[in-house]
Amino acid sequence: MATATQKEVSTKSSELIWALPEGELFTRLAADTKQGLSAAEAAKRLESFGPNAIAQTEQTPAWKLFLRQFNSPLVVLLAVAAGASFAFQEWLDGIAIVVVIVINALIGFYMEFQAGRSMAALKKMVPVSAKVFRAGRLSEITIETLVPGDVVYLEAGDMTPADARLYESVQLQADESSLTGESVPVEKEPGELSADTPLAEQSNLLFKGTFITKGNGRAVVTGTGMNTELGKIAHLVGTSEQAATPLEKKLEAFSGRLIKITVGLVVVIFGVGVVGGKPILEMFETSIALAVAAVPEGLSIVATLALAQGMLKLARKKVIVRKLSAVETLGGTTLICTDKTGTLTLNKMEVEALVSPGGNWAKSENAAELPAKNLPEAQYRRLMQIAILCNTSEITVGKRSIKEIGDPLETGLLKLALRQGEDINKLRKQYPKQSEMPFSSETKIMATQHKAPEGNLVFAKGAAEEVLNCCSFLLDGETNAPMTPQRRKVWLAEAEKMASSGLKVIAGAFKMEAKGSKEELTDNLVFAGLFGLIDPPRKEVPAAIRQCREAGIEVVMVTGDHPAAAKAIGRQLGIIESDDADVVLGKEMPDYEKLKAADKNRWAAAKIFARVSPKQKLDLIRVFQERKAIVGMTGDGVNDAPALKKADIGIAMGKRGTQVAQDAADMVLKDDSFVSIVVAIRQGRVIFDNIRKFVIYLLSCNMSELAVIAIVSLLFLSFQLKPLQILFINLVTDVLPALALGVTPGGPDVMQQKPRKPNEPIIDLPRWRRIFFYAGIITATTIGAVYFSHYIIHAGDEWNAALSNNILFFTLISAQLFHVFNMGSMELPFWRTEVVRNRYVWFALGACIGIIVLLYQIAPVRTALSITPMSVADWGVSIGAGLLAMVVIRLGKYLKFFQNKVL
């Protein structure tokens, strides 16, 4: 095969490729529409043209990220304080404040840098694949390895992986809204167009990044990466900041209100201090430091980091959360609408039974027992033709495994044919496909037309009731008998019987077309029989459904499958408890506009919906959301995209889901398993609880600082905290323990709690009461430690203001570090709580203690922080008082007044 050079393809891309004759274009591209490229040729072209990827916008450089940390009103306040210190020639204080500013910036930079790295890692979690012909075989490869001249196969739900020229299509439509702005899918078909055809009307071209919404087709890749229409405009798209999530907005608004409260309090403390004779500079620095300490400046960064790390943890559990905001909603999910196939079941289809007018066959443990022994030859032959020819999937037998490409139901039919010794490729060459009516969720039928020696043969398969409605005859031995209403009723009953045993039932039909026939492919078909496929339930799903019920989450099955099969699976999994449970059929579901109150009540009470269309899924979500439910909806098809967008949490399938569905979803399940949804909800609850934990921790610590300073100032006590001491406390006790709380694994009762209401604030009234309680206890024990030291440890001594200041300082640090353990669950003994068992909490406490010990050894630091030597007894008082605060708080949480299990 001739090799197309990069220069040649680059030239061709600038030419009017839509106007070139197919033969000429494909010759220039050295493309083989029959075999595709060889592996060696594809590798050469990949090396020459590079990966099929759009150049990513450059990430914010680290130095810019660092400088951005200084763009904060609170940092400006600190800078003003440092400037004032230098102006009054308080050099040590000024230098110390500058050091604090730098340390604060470094901490903020690290957290934001880590959050950015986490988000970048998430973007690589969902590789997009493309179906391509290589060396005569249909294979799946990542889109980055596509090259010009590749032959790709596309069908409904696929994302177009590169710019390509169509040479074969069946009712193909593409959604090009992302490129042209056209909201309606456009028809695509092979052919030549005039040179002046505008982009939006180039119907023989497919463009990278657009989606196939209907039909299927084959095309030759003409451009990849930046050499595509999408690539051409990529440089015009400026970088845009990611929109803040609702949680971040709540935190920002919360911080704003806290700043206003703090400013008022600071003004009062400053005024009281000056009136009480304190130096103006000291009160000015104290006020500014107090303002900085009172507001948890890094709150949104810590929250973003917790969200991103939680998303990475989910990714390792095969759940890809595509939007940060989705993590917030996960924990509040109250209802899951789940598909059956592949989500509740294994999606490993095997044909278990064939039922035809000429006889029946059931799979036996004896592999040698073939359907041909029980079925007439003509009957068996037609069923095998339907299984192989009315089928777009591929199956390859290797030495140790079978590789399946395509829909599991179709590969299940091909595996049946292989087990019977059928030569799939030989039969497909013997009856080449001429046209096709692809399966759709509306028609529930697929039909193909094939060239045969005796004329054109049409084969069809699909839902039993739909196929039977299209049949005018049935195959009875060697002859076609009329399909009477009575016979149709008998076969519908047979399909119902098979489905009630848990089989997925599809019907097969065929017809011989007369030459020049104008009728539709599905008109006047001949019924050949029923295929019964089994898709076993996942063993782990019943336990997951029970866990959902304990968590206050309803589980509803919404499937396009037969109602009897849906009820059988629902009963096995525990979604319903008896055969009397109501199953709502799609044909019984009126349009939303025509719904009556009784209809809505029935929908709300039902646990299984069968034969449901994508539009009905959308209506169902609207009814549930009207009743204030937070709905998670699974979907995998093109037409599921509106429902996935409408749901509070759209959940797409990673294995069998289309690119359209995945693009519309908030979350992608890499293993398609229902259990992964439950794992994601649990992790969503844990993440939100952790954010709530460190917000409560930070606020209670900061409020205790405010209270201590306010009381000491208002009572004109002599042992007020110094400005640098306040800043030091803020740095040591705020950052590391808060980060550790952000990665707490979650308490044992996280899935026993009722779902969180969507409008519930991060801090509600009961939690505000707890914060005031926590801050009050820490304040009381901290000030009490000073008086205990003076009147008990140093009884009779002169009042030592410097020592009292140090005891106040270290007691406040000790109490706040011990306070982190108060964030644990009250359902377990202290040593088994999730916070105590969180190794990162111990690492954080160890680091904080290490910093204190290290800085205590450095003389200039001791001088800057006004630290004087303390006796062992004084250290015992500070540490003991901090420990006492923790014990009192935990005892208080056991009291009925606080025992509402909100923390």
CA neighbor of 314 nearest in space, from 836, 844, 834, 746: 746
For the question of residue 339 being annotated catalytic, the response is yes
Rounded Cα gap, residues 429 and 136, in angstroms: 13
Annotated active-site residue in 32, 339, 535, 666: 339
**What DSSP string describes 179-235?**
HH---S-EEE--S---TT--GGG-TTEE-TT-EEEEEEEEEEEEE-TTSSHHHHHHT
Listed in sequence order, the DSSP H helices in 789-871 are: 801-819, 839-856, 859-864
Cα 565 to chain centroid, rounded: 29
**What is the H or E stretch that residue 890 is in?**
helix 872-894
- Paired sense of beta strands 479-482 and 211-223, if any: unpaired
**What DSSP string describes 135-149?**
TTEEEEEEGGG--TT
Which residues are CB-contacts of 540 (< 8 A; sequence separation ≥ 6)?
A: 673, 675
Please name every residue paired with 131 in a beta bridge, in sequence order, or none if there are none. 140, 153
Token duo for residue 381: 């032959």
SS3 content of the chain, % helix, strand, coil (to 5): 50, 15, 35
Listed in sequence order, the DSSP H helices in 433-554 are: 464-470, 485-500, 541-550
CB 661 within 8 A of CB 645: no
Which residues are CB-contacts of 348 (< 8 A; sequence separation ≥ 6)?
A: 408, 412, 535, 536
CB 510 within 8 A of CB 457: yes
CA neighbor of 290 nearest in space, from 488, 81, 490: 81
Rounded Cα gap, residues 83 and 94, in angstroms: 7
CB 46 within 8 A of CB 88: no
What DSSP designation does 445 have? E
Token duo for residue 747: 């308490």
Rounded Cα gap, residues 163 and 792, in angstroms: 83
- φ/ψ (deg, to 5) at 130: -135, 145
Count CA within 13 A, CB hemisphere, residue 452. Answer: 18
Cα 350 to chain centroid, rounded: 31
The CA distances from residue 646 to 442, 527, 620, 624, 633, in Å, are 20, 39, 10, 11, 9
CB 52 within 8 A of CB 162: yes
Question: How would you write 591-623 as a 3-class SS string?
Answer: CHHHCCHHHHHHHHHCCEEECCCHHHHHHHHHH
Token duo for residue 6: 């990069």
Rounded Cα gap, residues 499 and 564, in angstroms: 5
Rounded Cα gap, residues 80 and 365, in angstroms: 84
Q: Report the largest interatomic distance among the alpha carbons of the chain, rounded to a whole angstrom.
A: 118
What DSSP designation does 358 have? T
Rounded Cα gap, residues 396 and 402, in angstroms: 6
**What DSSP string describes 276-337?**
TT--HHHHHHHHHHHHHHHS-TTHHHHHHHHHHHHHHHHHHTTEEE--HHHHHHHTT--EEE
Q: Known catalytic residues?
A: 339
